[in-house]
């Protein structure tokens, strides 16, 4: 029997920007910084970008929580709007890309015994900035 159900509307506003004009990504990782440096004449050189990349997401979502004695479930479907500007090393007049953002996030807690709990989490969205970033994340 479900004991409690709660519905919470949420609005997320997310802005990502590159750190200065020396980077071409809005998500910086240490491995990306090392590979972004090129060697010219035996010295490390980092190119300067004419237009730094950024992205903006406005995402209305609905948080739905349901609890019982053994199982707790949280689901957050979302549908929003995103604007991406990829940046350019040479062109100062790069255009923005407007698109639809979708997402579905879910958590489930299973507690069959007092001191035993299983936790599962999944996130499905189109928020990856490059082709090698997966749209599905499990935890």
Instruction: Read off the pLDDT of each residue in 94-100 and give the average, rounded to a whole number.
Output: 87
Residue-level pLDDT at 86: 79
Alpha helices by DSSP H, listed for 4-128, are: 30-36
Q: What is the pLDDT of residues 31-80, one digit of tens each?
A: 554 455 444 455 555 555 656 788 899 999 999 999 998 999 999 999 99
Q: Give dist(CA 15, CA 58) in Å, integer.
A: 9
Residue-level pLDDT at 81: 93
Confidence of residue 30 (pLDDT cuts 50, 70, 90): low
Q: What is the pLDDT of residues 4-28, one digit of tens each?
A: 889 999 999 988 887 665 555 555 5
Residue-level pLDDT at 39: 47
Nearest one of 26, 21, 34 to 130, comparing CA atoms: 26
């Amino acid at each position: 029997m479900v004991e409690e159900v709660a519905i919470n509307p949420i609005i997320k506003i997310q802005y990502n920007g590159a750190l200065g004009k020396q980077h071409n990504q809005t998500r910086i990782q240490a491995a990306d910084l090392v590979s972004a440096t090129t060697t010219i004449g035996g010295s490390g050189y980092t190119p300067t970008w004419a237009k730094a990349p950024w992205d903006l997401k406005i995402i209305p979502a609905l948080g739905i929580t349901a609890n019982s004695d053994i199982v707790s479930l949280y689901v957050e479907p979302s549908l929003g709007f995103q604007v991406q500007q990829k940046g350019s090393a040479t062109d100062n007049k790069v255009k923005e890309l407007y698109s639809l953002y979708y997402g579905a996030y879910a958590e489930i807690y299973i507690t069959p015994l007092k001191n035993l709990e299983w936790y599962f989490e999944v996130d499905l969205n189109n928020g990856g900035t490059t082709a090698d970033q997966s749209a599905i994340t499990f935890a």
